[in-house]
Amino acid sequence: MATNRTFTMIKPDAFEAGNTGAILKMIENAGFKIMAMKATQLTPQLAGKFYEVHKERPFYADLCGYMSSGPIVAVILEKDNAVEDFRTLIGATNPANAADGTIRKIFAKSIEANAVHGSDSDENAALEGNFFFSQAERVS
């Protein structure tokens, strides 16, 4: 898997608020290319699997409920230094701490309903992309 890719989701709060297009525009304006994209809705079980790394955290059950509460848009993105640059573009997990001009600062509702996901490593970017997209569903 290329190391110049990352994975994002437009989370249920941003989808419901009609911010998908504005967020994708910010992502493209920052130089990312969309290599796979679809709207779907997670079951609580699938949300639990996606966030399994957090299963011991106190917010895990709430997070799985929230992430399965409505449609999301899953996206594979490509750019040099994709993982790090995308984390910079989205800002801190808690929008109260996110830098001005970041996606979470502009669109997030709370630390949980924080508009977008961003992979934290090249390895997880590949795993997360493969969670949503088969080889035939993404640019190889």
Distance, in Å, from the CA atom of 105 to the CA atom of 94, rounded to the nearest integer, reads: 9
Instruction: Please report how close the Cβ of residue 57 comes to ligand IDP at its closest, in angstroms.
Output: 7
Q: Which letter, b or e, does each residue of 49-69 get, where b requires 16 or more Cβ atoms within 10 Å of its Cβ? A: ebbeeeeeeeebeebbebbbb
131 near ligand IDP, judged by CB under 6 A: no
- Closer to ligand IDP at the Cβ: 32 or 91? 91
Interface region with Mg ion, contact rule CB under 5 A, candidates 4-12, 105-113, 117-125, 127-135: 117-125
Is position 93 an interface residue for ligand IDP (rule: CB under 6 A)?
Answer: yes
Cα end-to-end span (Å), the chain:
9
**DSSP classification of residue 127:** H
Say which amino acid occupies 8: T
Applying CB under 6 A, the span of 19-27, 77-85, 107-115, 126-134 interacting with ligand IDP comes to: 107-115
Where on the chain is the footprint of ligand IDP (CB under 6 A)? 54, 59, 63, 93, 111-112, 114, 117, 120
